[in-house]
């Protein structure tokens, strides 16, 4: 337990490293923890106690003794036989054609394999399709290390469970799934994780079961959101609101409370494709998951609404509010707000003047990566419409009156999350058209 190396310092890896350090301090255990990332800029930023998107504060990083490294050879193994526990938390996105992209996982496995020694333990937390750990990752570790798994080193899998912006379900207090190559390895993983996640640990019967669980969890979420999105099209035709329908349906004890919208991030828009690819490879249809992805990834229903509204107003200026992938977080990965901004900007038939605001995203990174410049709310005025993509608390604090005063009379307020649905009459009375799912 003395040496832990977290590989990948994104949202999952950094927060996991900080939780490990805090938990082991609580147990007064002697340990060394390192955090490795191939992104030199990211490592230097963390060394300077600055985190751009994972939610770690300056004080969190300043008080931490984690050694942030950019070279795997910097791992501090004091004795030649001293064991290291590697925890791999790299991203597993999809390519443009939605095929699983395991390149980061392959690279991480190769890097770890180069420094792997006998008795070391490697635990993967990256989301993968069932079978990837044993069929892809372990052979790479064996090849690069010239060691044999289960005899010389050991491999487990424990899918990350983190919900950015959720103060109730924190990484440290949710049930943690663990698995191993066999019972011996499972107990090795358990001995480590029980000190980090004391609340509740669930031992899976195999690595494939743990891998499958993560894919199922997020595919189910995607399907549920797609149902509500699709149902909202019907309620609109009927002249009623999906929000009123959900309020009524939620009075039933077993109704699943899901809001309409466009899910972003690294889980819901990605994991179903891992399921779809593996299902098709094994001759299993995944029509429901495919349909859900098509529904939730389709912004053109909203874009048509915007076009119809903007035809009726004088100003061609649109303000898009909320560019992170979900409310009250700075992370922009797979942001549907950024995707919408890009689609509207590229529309030469409708030459809108599109401006943007977000209270939390890193302005420099956003401008460098997407070419989008963030403006201050107070400098945004004379709008034909506002498109609110996320329910950031900053917009509630700013106030609906201040927001709609920025829109010209008979302009439009597109409230995607329904944040101000209860105040829709106030918006309409002010002479602004209101639309939500």
Residues listed for the chain: 437
- Given pLDDT bands bounded at 50, 70 and 90, which one contains residue 275? very high
Q: Does residue 25 surpass a pLDDT of 80? A: yes
Domain range summary for the chain, segments of one domain joined by +: 3-205, 206-296, 299-437
| Helices assigned H by DSSP within 326-417 | 336-345, 363-370, 393-398, 400-404
Strand ranges for 15-89 from DSSP E: 32-36, 67-69, 85-88
Distance from C-alpha of 428 to C-alpha of 411, rounded to nearest angstrom: 10
The residues that are catalytic are 267
Distance of CA 421 to the CA centre of its chain: 26
Q: In this structure, what is the dihedral angle of CA atoms 247, 250, 252, 257, given to the nearest 10 degrees?
A: 160
Region label for 310, one of left (φ > 0), alpha (ψ between -120 and 50) or beta (otherwise):
alpha
CATH class, domain 299-437, is alpha beta
At 1 the pLDDT is: 53
Query: Closest Cα partner for 392 from 317, 437, 331?
Result: 331
Q: For residues 161-188, give the mean pLDDT.
A: 83
264 pLDDT exceeds 60?
yes
Confidence of residue 174 (pLDDT cuts 50, 70, 90): confident
Domain 3-205 sits in CATH at 3.40.50.720
**What mean pLDDT value characterizes the chain?**
93
Tokens for 129, please give them.
Answer: 């399709």
The pTM score is 0.92
pLDDT at residue 199 in the model: 73
Fold category of 206-296 in CATH: 1.10.1040
Is there a shared CATH topology between the 3-205 domain and the 299-437 domain?
yes
The angle subtended at Cα 93 by Cα 137 and Cα 331, nearest 5°, is 125
CA distance 373 to 138: 44
Percentage of the chain surpassing pLDDT 70? 96
């Amino acid at each position: 337990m003395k040496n832990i190396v977290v590989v990948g310092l994104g949202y999952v890896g950094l927060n996991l490293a900080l939780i490990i350090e805090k938990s082991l301090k609580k147990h007064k255990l002697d340990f060394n923890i390192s955090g490795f990332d191939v992104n030199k800029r990211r490592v230097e930023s963390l060394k300077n106690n600055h985190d751009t998107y994972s939610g770690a504060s300056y004080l969190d990083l300043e008080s931490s003794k984690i050694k942030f490294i950019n070279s795997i050879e910097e791992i501090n193994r004091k004795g030649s036989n001293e064991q290291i526990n590697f925890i791999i938390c790299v991203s597993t996105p999809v390519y443009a054609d939605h095929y699983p992209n395991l390149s980061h996982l392959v690279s991480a496995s190769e890097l770890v394999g180069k420094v792997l020694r006998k008795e070391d333990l490697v635990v993967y937390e990256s989301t993968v399709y069932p079978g990837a750990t044993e069929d892809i990752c372990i052979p790479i570790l064996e090849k690069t290390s010239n060691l044999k798994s289960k005899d010389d080193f050991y491999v487990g899998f424990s899918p990350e469970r983190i919900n950015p912006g959720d103060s109730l379900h924190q990484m440290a207090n949710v049930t943690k799934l663990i698995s191993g190559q066999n019972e011996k390895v499972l107990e090795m993983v358990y001995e480590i994780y029980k000190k980090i996640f004391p609340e509740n640990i669930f031992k899976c019967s195999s690595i494939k079961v743990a891998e499958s669980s993560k894919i199922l969890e997020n595919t189910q979420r995607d399907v549920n959101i797609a149902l509500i999105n699709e149902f909202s099209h019907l309620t609109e035709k009927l002249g009623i609101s999906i929000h009123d329908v959900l309020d009524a349906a939620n009075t039933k004890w077993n109704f699943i409370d899901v809001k309409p919208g466009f899910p972003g991030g690294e889980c819901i828009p990605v994991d179903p494709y891992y399921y779809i690819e593996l299902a098709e490879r094994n001759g299993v249809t995944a029509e429901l998951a495919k349909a859900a992805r098509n529904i939730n990834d389709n912004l053109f229903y909203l874009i048509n609404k915007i076009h119809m509204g903007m035809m009726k107003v004088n100003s061609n200026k649109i303000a898009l509010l909320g560019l992170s992938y979900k409310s009250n977080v700075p992370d922009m990965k797979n942001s549907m707000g950024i995707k919408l901004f890009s689609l509207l900007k590229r529309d030469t038939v409708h030459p809108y003047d599109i401006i943007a605001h977000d209270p939390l995203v890193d302005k420099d990174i956003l401008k460098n990566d997407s070419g989008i410049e963030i403006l201050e709310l107070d400098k945004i005025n004379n709008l034909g419409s506002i498109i609110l993509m996320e329910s950031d608390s900053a917009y509630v604090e700013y106030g609906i009156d201040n927001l709609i005063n920025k829109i010209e009379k008979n302009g439009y307020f597109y409230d995607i999350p329904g944040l101000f649905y209860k105040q829709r009459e106030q918006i309409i009375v002010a002479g602004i058209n209101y639309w939500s799912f």
